[in-house]
């Protein structure tokens, strides 16, 4: 193994590469992994220097607190190749900021910005050949932190691991998504951890989603924990609803993730002179709009799909179909945001970050 280093990040290169075994024309999402990963340990009250090492298993003691008390957080982001073979990131400092917001809520030590950014940039440069160049493809990036310290006592761990793994992925096509508005289960509650990207948030969604799938739906629309009267999120994504020519999304709160794609869509929509309202949205308002024809579009917004159009929804044993629009807000906004990400258009917002 070849070992190199800069002032902060040590690089230990793998002797061999798996890249020749990968079909870059047929990449699924998040199931192929590059040759290297970043590892950074928190011990004795401080983060040690990050290391880029060959991708492989992580060894943990059975008493590691991640297994027992769920101290685990993550982020999702992407790197993109343009036609000149340059590599770009999209709002990476927002991902770092949000990772630390999640860390604070779960009593995990925060990661310094230079550890995050220098570690990420070094890893991407080492595995730059893994970044797909096909139309719509990208390098999905998964930073995460978990409790590696040992002990069965219910308290924060004294040791943690910060890691970044890379997954070259093809274009994410969700197809037509039919959703069920949830009337019983909740993904989060006031005062809880819904605003954080905690692993447990997603584990808790699986069972209600499984029930919805058994009824013929693809995903769940989450409602508030108290009354189930307010629309909050779409599966693991933020949700937008278009009534007539107004785009509506709920405000962020203890229960709703401050999505980076969500924030970008709001700014781009305003730049397109689309009327945007960030406010509470009731289920009854959506149902009424579906009945009178003023409900034009619903879509999820997140890193993986960017925008995932919703073709219809179910509520109280009744299904409602949305109109098929050739040129709706969803397609317009997705093109605007992806053109910025792939360096195809002007970035007037200053979101692009060149590697």
pLDDT surpassing 80 at residue 4: no
Mean pLDDT of 42-62: 97
pLDDT at 254 > cutoff 80: yes
Residue 50 DSSP symbol: P
Q: Average pLDDT for residues 248-262, to the nearest whole number?
A: 94
φ, ψ at 42 (rounded to 5°):
-105, 115
Domains with residue ranges and CATH for the chain = 3-169 (3.30.470.10), 177-341 (3.20.10.10)
pLDDT tier at 2, thresholds 50, 70, 90: low
pLDDT (mean) for 331-336: 96
Mean pLDDT to the nearest integer, 269-287: 97
Phi then psi for 43, rounded to 5 degrees?
-145, 150
208 pLDDT higher than 80: yes
Using the predicted structure, report yes or no on whether residue 320 has a pLDDT greater than 70: yes
Would you state the structure tokens that stand for residue 87, as one six-digit string?
């590599």
| pLDDT for residue 110 | 98
% of residues, the chain, pLDDT over 90:
92
Average pLDDT over residues 137-150: 97
Q: Which residues pair with 238 in a beta bridge?
A: 233, 301
The pLDDT of residue 209 is: 96
Tens of pLDDT, residues 77-104? 999 999 999 999 999 999 999 999 999 9
- In whole angstroms, what is the distance from residue 336 CA to residue 13 CA? 37
Give the SS3 label for residue 172: coil
> In Å, how far from its chain's centre is CA 151?
31
pLDDT at 152: 97
CB atoms within 10 A of CB 25: 9
pLDDT given for residue 165 in this prediction = 98
pLDDT confidence bin for 174, thresholds 50/70/90: low
- pLDDT score of 175: 72
pLDDT at residue 326, rounded to an integer: 83
- Closest alpha carbon to 51 in 4, 88, 83, 89: 4
pLDDT digits (tens, 9 = 90+) for 147-160: 999 999 999 999 99
d(CA 160, CA 65): 9
- Give the Cβ contact number of residue 129 at 10 Å: 10
Nearest CA to 122 out of 209, 8, 216 is that of 8
Of the chain, the percentage scoring pLDDT greater than 70 comes to: 98
Report the mean per-residue pLDDT for the chain. Answer: 95
pLDDT bracket for residue 171 (50, 70, 90): confident
Q: Is the pLDDT score of 328 beyond 90? A: yes
What is the value of pTM for the model shown? 0.95
| Span 307-317, pLDDT tens digits | 999 999 999 99
Which range (47-56, 78-87, 103-112, 319-328) has the least confidence?
A: 319-328
pLDDT in tens, 109-136: 999 999 999 999 999 999 999 999 988 8
- Inter-residue contact 129 to 22 (CB < 8 Å): no
What pLDDT digit, counting tens, does each position of 291-304 carry? 999 999 999 999 98
321's enclosing H/E stretch is strand 318-321
* Neighbour-count burial of 158, counting CB atoms closer than 10 A to its CB (0-12 exposed, 13-18 middle, 19+ buried): middle
Name the DSSP class of 254.
Answer: S
8 Å CB contact between 33 and 166: yes
């Amino acid at each position: 193994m070849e070992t190199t280093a800069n002032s902060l990040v040590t690089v230990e290169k793998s002797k061999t590469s798996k890249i020749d075994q990968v079909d870059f024309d047929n990449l699924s999402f998040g199931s192929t992994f590059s040759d290297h990963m970043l590892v950074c340990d928190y011990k004795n009250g401080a983060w040690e220097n990050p290391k880029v090492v060959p991708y492989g298993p992580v060894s943990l003691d059975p008493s590691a607190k991640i297994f027992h008390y769920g101290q685990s957080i993550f982020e999702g982001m992407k790197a993109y190749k343009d036609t000149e073979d340059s590599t770009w990131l999209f709002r990476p400092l927002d991902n770092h900021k949000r990772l630390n917001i999640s860390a604070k809520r779960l009593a995990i030590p925060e990661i310094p910005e230079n550890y995050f950014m220098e570690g990420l940039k070094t890893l991407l440069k080492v595995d730059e050949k893994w970044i797909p160049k096909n139309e719509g493809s990208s390098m999905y990036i998964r930073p995460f932190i978990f409790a590696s310290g040992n002990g069965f006592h219910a308290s924060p761990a004294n040791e943690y691991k910060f890691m970044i793994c890379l997954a070259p992925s093809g274009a994410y096509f969700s197809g037509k998504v039919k959703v069920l508005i949830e009337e019983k289960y909740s993904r989060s509650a006031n005062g809880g951890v819904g605003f954080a990207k905690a692993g447990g948030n997603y584990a808790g969604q699986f069972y209600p989603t499984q029930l919805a799938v058994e009824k013929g739906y693809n995903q769940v629309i989450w409602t508030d924990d108290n009354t189930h009267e307010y629309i909050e999120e779409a599966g693991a994504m933020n949700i937008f609803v278009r009534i007539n020519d107004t785009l509506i999304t709920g405000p962020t709160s203890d229960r709703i993730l401050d999505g980076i794609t969500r924030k970008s869509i709001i700014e781009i929509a305003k730049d397109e002179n689309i009327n945007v309202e960030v406010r509470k949205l009731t289920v009854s308002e959506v149902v009424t709009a579906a009945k009178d024809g003023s409900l034009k579009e619903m879509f999820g917004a997140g890193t993986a799909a960017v925008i995932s159009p919703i073709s219809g929804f179910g509520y109280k044993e009744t299904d409602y179909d949305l109109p098929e629009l050739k040129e709706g807000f969803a397609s317009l906004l997705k093109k605007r945001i992806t053109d910025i990400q792939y360096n195809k258009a002007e970035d007037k917002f200053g979101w692009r970050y060149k590697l």
